[in-house]
Structure 1
Amino acid sequence: MTHLYLIRHGESVANVKPIVAGMKGDVGLTERGIEQAKRLRDRLATSGEIKADVLISSTLPRARQTAEIIQPALGIPIIFDDEVQELKVGEADGMTNQEAWARFGVPDFDRYPLRPLAPGGESWGDFTLRVSRALTRITSEYEGKTIVIVCHGGVIDCSFIHFFRMPSLVVPPIDFHTRNTSITWWERVNRRHQQLWRLNTYNDIAHLQGIGAVESVRWEDTHPAAPVPTEE
């Protein structure tokens, strides 16, 4: 059977500033994020619960740093893959949320799922298609293996859309809340005369007990109180 473990990166500087973080704006993990990743590393080393054949990481610094911290517990090299990055932010990269929203408008993927976050960036539809293609490619290439991907909350959100075959051009009418360094575990099984994906675990953060799981700042919590010029 194919096992797919999706691990969200640790708390990042961009999560708490908040900064729109592509390759330019992403400066890696906070001290808490480093500790979260170390806790996960120690858990995996002690438990041996994930016997990984493949370790893939997003190329964004926050995911790369998380993968490098946990890699010794898995004992295999890291394969870096641009296609499991978070939604690409284009010209907003490195701006604060407030600066980006003032210049490009507040993101509203519910109403405008095909509008990019900023010029050169991705829309919700672009993003879900990219992630779906990446998951199809990776699980096909490593069929029958245990795959670990260190990635992002948005990628893990898209895994639900992909495996549950939900509409991908609209934002689901539910709220995913994926925690830093959480484990999401998908397994491919033979059922009903076909191969189906089974969700075994979502948001497993047992290793964070004692240090807290402080929430990242979310986009909807950083909207200006009054309309920015592009909204008037």
Structure 2
Amino acid sequence: MSRFFWVRHGPTHAKTMVGWSDLPADLSDSAQLARLSGVLPAEALVISSDLVRASATADAIAAGRQRLPHDPDLREIHFGEWELAHFDEVEDQARLRAYWETPGDIRPPGGESWHEVCARVDRAVARLMADHPGRDIIAVAHFGVILTQVQQALQIGAYAAFSHRIANLSLTELHHQDGSWNALRINHLP
């Protein structure tokens, strides 16, 4: 069995669509970081997106656990021309609404579709399971990345996956055994 402990990075306090922009996380809540680190398995491997908000969060909760190299396939959704825009600043409101309300093949200009995000993250997860069979993995990533795996574990559509809240510094625990996923906790705040 492979157990994945997905952790969303610390808050950036941005009020825009933040995808591949490398904004730092606010890691000032040391008590929350300690609680989070304390509920994670001691022998787990730690990996993160290569974006600083995820990698710094991973460093803050690693607590002596083995760190794997950052993985760019664990980056947030690539919002392309919508990057760092407020929702009401996007000119093509119909396309923006369709992106969030009927996620799938629609992509922001210069960005990636939901299906492309899912394929990218699924490749990373498959690679981790192949390289580290049966190991516990703490993966520090982003809202969209974690939702791709919640969607897969719950066998739900993308729109239903988007209904799940994934708070900063929350834990989502998913287990993989005999070819199927099981969601034990989603958006748990220790």
TM range (shorter): 0.7 to 0.9
**Deviations for 1:44-73, whole angstroms, at most 9, x for unmatched residues?**
55x4641244211012222122112222x1
> 2-side partners of 1:59 and 1:128: how far apart?
17
SS at match of 2:160: coil
SS at match of 1:80: coil
SS at match of 2:175: strand
Instruction: From the superposition, tell whether residues 111 and 196 of structure 1 become closer, same or farther in structure 2 (CA, over 3 Å).
Output: closer
CA contact (8 A) 1:3 1:188 kept: yes
Instruction: From the superposition, tell whether residues 62 and 68 of structure 1 become closer, same or farther in structure 2 (CA, over 3 Å).
Output: same
CA contact (8 A) 1:57 1:150 kept: yes
1:137 aligns with 2:127: yes
Deviant stretches of 4+, over 3 Å: 94-98, 164-167
RMSD: 2.5
1:115 aligns with 2:106: yes
> 2-side partners of 1:102 and 1:114: how far apart?
19
CA contact (8 A) 2:150 2:161 kept: no
1:4 aligns with 2:4: yes
> 1-side partners of 2:115 and 2:172: how far apart?
23
2:46 corresponds to which residue? 55
SS at match of 1:79: coil
CA contact (8 A) 1:52 1:147 kept: no
1:20-169 matched pairs, under 5 angstroms: 20-24=17-21, 26-30=22-26, 34-36=27-29, 38-43=30-35, 47=38, 49-71=40-62, 73-99=63-89, 101-102=90-91, 105-109=95-99, 110-111=101-102, 113-117=104-108, 119-167=109-157
Give the drift of 1:151. 0.5
1:215 corresponds to which residue? none
Structure 1 vs Structure 2: percent identity of aligned residues?
Answer: 25
CA contact (8 A) 2:20 2:76 kept: no
Please point out which of 183, 204, 213 is paired with 2:188: 204
Of structures 1 and 2, the one scoring higher in RCO (CA 8 A, sep 6+) is 2
> 1-side partners of 2:145 and 2:103: how far apart?
19
Structure 2: gaps spanning 5 or more residues:
none
1:175 aligns with 2:163: yes
Question: For residue 126 of structure 2, what is the amino acid of its counterpart?
Answer: T
Give the drift of 1:205. 0.7
**Deviations for 1:58-98, whole angstroms, at most 9, x for unmatched residues?**
12222122112222x14322421111111111122233443
Question: For residue 95 of structure 1, what is the amino acid of its counterpart?
Answer: A
1:188 corresponds to which residue? 176
Question: For residue 13 of structure 1, what is the amino acid of its counterpart?
Answer: H
Instruction: From the superposition, tell whether residues 199 and 75 of structure 1 become closer, same or farther in structure 2 (CA, over 3 Å).
Output: same
Give the drift of 1:143. 1.3
Normalised to the residue count of structure 2, the TM-score between the two structures is 0.83
SS at match of 2:31: helix
SS at match of 1:108: helix
> 2-side partners of 1:138 and 1:83: how far apart?
11
> 2-side partners of 1:200 and 1:173: how far apart?
15
